[in-house]
Chains A and B, each alone.
Chain A
């Protein structure tokens, strides 16, 4: 029972809970208390230290910015105005707060605001749907287009859009890079002849890929009214991120243990059997390493690409908030930063989970 729970939490990447479970089961309290300190308490303490340092830093920056603002006013508009601004700042009035790194509390408040905003928009959307339900039915029956909600997307909607884009890009990368990787891994000639493409295009910046895709897709979608900004961003994400998978797959396929290949030769396996029973399973660990890198690169470049392609998502959210310059914009950007980081981490964990599920080598980190 205990062991199977421990295996379970380890399997889903929560191995740090192991000593806690052992302690609850009254197993070796001294050693496990020490382990709990090392694996659970120390990391939590580090979070507090991080937040504390952040608080100190933001306070220092706030003071610098505030003093500068007061002095500037003092110089240009006289003492009365400066005093007014100082009072305004101290009263906590949002409009006269200096614009700088927000404190943890402000970021948390912005997080709450975003959630509330989401709830309002979601309710709005639902109401809209109910209101137009009957009408849309009729319109569809008449062969017209249904009326869709066109209001502002909430923060959560932006996250969903970003995830949709990143997965579309990831699967594009997967379906391009894995087959090509296998083919060039199998053939030395092809590997030699295609290598220059990989070496030259691998280091190209996401921005340039976006522009390239934009040139092509813009022309191709001229006559259709489909959402070209989504297409552009997911193709760019796919093209940017596929290289790691391509290189790793080719390397994995090319470096299969010769013992396995000899066995396949002696047993005279047919080419397809050889690929699916021997070569692919043997190179799976490397392919998955590639896919993990691809997914994290995809998520990283996605933000930049959305920002430039002006397609909806977290990237455009960040950019809009920056342009917006409202009082809590900075805080919202920091919220987005944490959300981006955590989703990236979660995506990596999911990949690791799948890798452990299907890989024969159990000890992958």
Chain B
């Protein structure tokens, strides 16, 4: 087993690193003085890596993710993508939100198109449509190109959300508990959809989850965050299962329960 402590956190060669969080800090001013959510948070994520982040509610996971997305200001330290610091949000970092956040007045196609048009400004209309169709097909939404987002179920909406995020070919994909609002059956299906698309595209992914099994099934490394205030990286656990993975094979693997116990011990310590 390959775990590291925060004090001796592993550094990677800079040409392997996609996303680098250095001494990240987030402070929210409150009437009773500053509230420090994150402090001394260091994390390096390699190219083509799938990271899941677990931690207690309110520890600052979502704050960290929205800072990476550029939706939340950075109070101290820095975040860089491929060596250059981020300035605000941008299409190099795709986000899949907890609620599907599709525009209900647009069709599924138009929702995906919204980002595609931005990223491929010189493509012809046909080419852009083909890109949208390709990703909608990948998430199993072939029959809904012309349906409005308000007419499909939440699970389907989140599928479109996944298609929208992948279609803009981001360098980093940020997922904020994307399946948290779904029932467990739909959740399993969508994990498969996500990992299928991801296996093809190999986009660096950072995903927040509350679900220990989900964290193990999807991730190359599981990052555990300490409880706030002043939350930071508590522990990192490498998951060394072969890819592509199947849920069945993983459940039967000997290491699975060791990994699971490690994560649960951390959360309950």
Q: Distance (Å) between the CB of A227 and the closest chain B CB?
A: 42
Q: A259-B97, A268-B118, A277-B103 are in contact. List 15 more A-B contacts (CB 8 A).
A: A262-B71, A262-B101, A263-B95, A263-B114, A266-B71, A266-B91, A267-B118, A269-B118, A281-B105, A282-B105, A359-B105, A360-B104, A361-B104, A361-B150, A362-B150
A260, A263, A281, A284 interface centre (most CB from chain B within 10 Å)? A263
* Residues of chain A lying within 8 A (CB to CB) of residue B106: 277, 281
* Residues of chain B lying within 8 A (CB to CB) of residue A262: 71, 95, 97, 101
Query: B interface, by DSSP: helix, strand, loop or mixed?
Result: loop
Q: Is B139 an interface residue (CB 8 A)?
A: no
Q: How far does the alpha carbon of A260 sit from the alpha carbon of B99 in the complex, in Å?
A: 10
**Is there contact, CB below 8 Å, between B93 and A266?**
yes
**Is there contact, CB below 8 Å, between A265 and B71?**
yes
**Is there contact, CB below 8 Å, between A268 and B103?**
no
* Residues of chain B lying within 8 A (CB to CB) of residue A265: 70-71, 88-89
**Is there contact, CB below 8 Å, between A360 and B94?**
no
16 CB < 8 A contacts A-B:
A263-B95, A263-B103, A266-B69, A266-B70, A266-B90, A266-B91, A267-B114, A267-B115, A268-B89, A268-B90, A277-B114, A281-B106, A284-B105, A360-B104, A360-B105, A360-B150
* Residues of chain A lying within 8 A (CB to CB) of residue B101: 259-260, 262-263
**Is there contact, CB below 8 Å, between A278 and B103?**
yes
* Residues of chain A lying within 8 A (CB to CB) of residue B70: 265-266
Q: How far does the alpha carbon of A265 sit from the alpha carbon of B101 in the complex, in Å?
A: 12
A268, A278, A359, A361: the one within 8 Å of B91 (CB): A268
Q: How many A-B residue pairs have CB under 8 A?
A: 56
* Residues of chain B lying within 8 A (CB to CB) of residue A263: 95, 97, 101, 103, 114
Query: A interface, by DSSP: helix, strand, loop or mixed?
Result: helix
* Residues of chain B lying within 8 A (CB to CB) of residue A260: 101, 103
Q: How far does the alpha carbon of A218 sit from the alpha carbon of B93 in the complex, in Å?
A: 61
**Is there contact, CB below 8 Å, between B103 and A266?**
no
Q: Distance (Å) between the CB of A132 and the closest chain B CB?
A: 53
Q: How far does the alpha carbon of A268 sit from the alpha carbon of B118 in the complex, in Å?
A: 8
* Residues of chain B lying within 8 A (CB to CB) of residue A259: 97, 99, 101
Decide: A269 near B114, CB < 8 A? Known: A259-B101, A262-B71: yes
* Residues of chain B lying within 8 A (CB to CB) of residue A269: 114, 118
Q: Distance (Å) between the CB of A76 and the closest chain B CB?
A: 74
The proximity string for B residues 208-249 relative to A, scoring 1 for CB distances below 8 Å and 0 otherwise, is 000000000000000000000000000000000000000000
Interface residues of B in 91-122 (CB under 8 A from A): 91, 93-95, 97, 99, 101, 103-106, 114-115, 118
